Structure formats: C-alpha cells, structure tokens
Amino acid sequence: MMNYKISIIIPIYNVEEYIEECLNSIFLQLHDFVEIIVINDGTPDNSVAIIKSKFHEWLEKDQVVLINQENLGPGAARNTGVAVARGQYLGFLDSDDVLLPNFFKEVIKSIDEKKTDIIEFGYTRFSSIDDIGSKTFCPLLPFEGQYNLAKIRNDIFAVGAWFPWIRVYKSEIFNKHKFPVNLFYEDLLTIPFIFLMDLKIDFIKQPLVGYRFNPNSTTALHDKSHALTMSDFYYSLDKAEESIAIQILKIKTARSIAYFYNELSDADIPILEVLRNINKIPKKLELLIHLKLPDLVFFLTPKLYMVLDKIRLRKRDSLQ
C-alpha cells in the first residue's frame, strides 16, 4: 500500500459549474505521494457525472478515491474523508476553489524540512479563473517560518481566519477533533480548538489556494439558523478554559451575532443577552492590544457599533 504524504479531501455538492476547474488545478500538479479523496455529499446536479466523464483515467488510480454518501453537509463529508485518508497530513479544498500551481511543491518542502504539525499558507480571492493571476496577495498574518503556537496564538485568534483549506495538518490531530454534522460554520466550530493545542506551525508566505467568490455559497446567504448556530457556539465557549484567545473568539463571535441581528432584524436572535455577557469580560490591556479595530470598537462601545453597523447595512442595501 502506498504511503501518501498528503491526503486532500474535497466535498462535492452543487458545483457542476466549477468542479472541472477545481480538479484540473490538482491533477496538473499531482505527485505520486499525494492522495485525492472526493466525497459526493449527495449532490443533485451533474458534478459526479462530470468527474466520471472528464477524469475517469484518474479514478482508476489508487491515489484518487471517490466516495458517495447521502447529503449531510460539508462537515460530515470532511469527516468521511478523514476516516479513510491514508496521508501523513490532511488538507481540505472546497470544490468551487482551486489549488495554485506551487501548492504541492511548497507544502511537500515544508513537510520534508520542518516536519511541523500544521502548515499555513495564503490564498488569492477570485471570481473568474481567468483573472486569478492578476490578484494582489495580502497575507493574513506577518509570520514566516516555524513557530510554537503558544507564542503567536493570540495573533492568530485576532485575525480569526478559520478556513480549513488554508492549512494542512498532521492527520493524527483529527483523531481528537471532528467537524460537526448538519451545522453551518463547521469550520469555526472546529478549527479554533485545534489552535488551542500545544503544536508547531510553519507559515508559507505566499498564496497556494484560489478562493472563489461564489454568491450562492452558504457563507454568502444568511438566515436565522446561521445566527442561532453562532449563538449556541458563543455560549459553548463558556465551557472552555479562560484565556485571551478564547476571549478574542467570544468577542468576534458576538460581533457576528450582532451583524446577523442587524441584517435579519429578527427578535429571536439573543443579542441583548450576548451583549450583557460580553460586558463581563475584563478589559485588560493584553486583550485590548490584540483586538482588531472593528472588534475593539464593538467590545468597548457595543451599542454605538451596532448603530454604525446598521447604517452601513442600509447603505449597502440601497446600492444593490
């Protein structure tokens, strides 16, 4: 049996428009020691038919696996991939996104030289595959090279980029962490807790993934269930061991709930309870200096922030 260095897990659901570009970006640079796991999450469109038609030769190889399951959401699909993965490291890719040409070269180099627990890299946001090369890359964090997570944890939480696909992880990390099933924001509900562990992380300061702006994605279309999932997650953080990182996560999550409240104008969203709870967090200097400006304004003057955010949303809606 092949000993794969990396397994890339790709959930498939309603991406017939994008799946060919996604898989082409992988197969054009695929190494023998990389495993690709495609999870058909009960997609009702032609995505799987396209895969079988366009990539049938790849499906005959040991390193490419196609698994079919009923629709349970991206969290369950990722868990299925994790359970069968044979790689020393795990990576994730959304099926409307692409890998940039140096992905495997740079990640394998980090694995071989650093043998770290997590490898993090940048991404470029795009709308069309034709303009992806013209996009400017702005790194989320200033770090490059290997660090102990404990030394930079607060900085990572302050940015709060919990996309699973901007990193690869040692596979054993997911022995302790599973994605929630049939819930929105499964990445937010999972990845931060990995970053509370005592691990080492290597930063590659260049974009290795193309992140497509998709107006029909679940992250772009909001309803009350999104807000209530976020609210449940907020209160679940009370069970976590208190730290600056957890306080930052609570503040950012509360600000998201405030955004949903303003956007949806739904009285069932428990915003007043959340604001009272946030007010109990001590306003220590170590916390304040790590907060990004929107989070800092929200934390210190939540009512003013909500008024300003509501004005911003009304202006946005008037321009659409």
Q: From start to end of the chain, where are the E strands? A: 6-12, 34-41, 64-69, 89-92, 98-99, 118-126, 145-148, 167-170, 200-212
Tell me which residue of 98, 72, 86, 71 sits closest to 10, measured CA to CA.
Answer: 98
- 3-state SS assignment for residue 40: strand
Q: How far apart are CA 23 and CA 99, in angstroms?
A: 9
More confident: 219 or 40: 40
Tell me what the mean pLDDT of segment 219-231 comes to.
Answer: 80
Residue 31 identity = H
Q: Please check the confidence at residue 127 and state whether its pLDDT lies above 60.
A: yes
* 179 in Cβ contact with 186 (< 8 Å): yes
Tell me what the mean pLDDT of segment 154-171 comes to.
Answer: 97
Going by pLDDT thresholds of 50, 70 and 90, the confidence category of residue 300 is very high
Q: Please check the confidence at residue 105 and state whether its pLDDT lies above 60.
A: yes
pLDDT digit string, tens, across residues 226-277: 888 999 999 999 999 999 999 999 999 999 999 999 998 877 888 999 999 9
Element (H or E) spanning 300, and its range?
helix 293-300
* 152 in Cβ contact with 143 (< 8 Å): yes
Q: Please check the confidence at residue 12 and state whether its pLDDT lies above 80.
A: yes
Count of Cβ atoms closer than 10 Å to residue 268 Cβ: 11
pLDDT of residue 60: 94
Tell me what the mean pLDDT of segment 124-135 comes to.
Answer: 83
When mean pLDDT is compared across 83-87, 243-247, 287-291, 312-316, the lowest value belongs to 312-316
Q: Please check the confidence at residue 315 and state whether its pLDDT lies above 90.
A: no
pLDDT of residue 221: 63
Q: Please check the confidence at residue 288 and state whether its pLDDT lies above 60.
A: yes
Going by pLDDT thresholds of 50, 70 and 90, the confidence category of residue 219 is low
Q: Please check the confidence at residue 220 and state whether its pLDDT lies above 60.
A: no
Query: Percent of the chain, pLDDT > 70?
Result: 97
Q: What share of the chain is helix, strand, coil (3-state, %, to 5)?
A: 45, 20, 35
Domains of the chain, CATH where assigned:
6-212 (3.90.550.10), 224-313 (no CATH)
Q: How far apart are CA 320 and CA 181, in angstroms?
A: 34
pLDDT of residue 196: 97
- Using the Cα atoms of residue 273, residue 279, residue 282 and residue 285 in order, give the sign of their dihedral: positive
Q: What is the pTM of this model?
A: 0.93
- 38-57 burial code (b ≥16 CB/10 A, e <16): bbbbbbeeebbebbeeebee
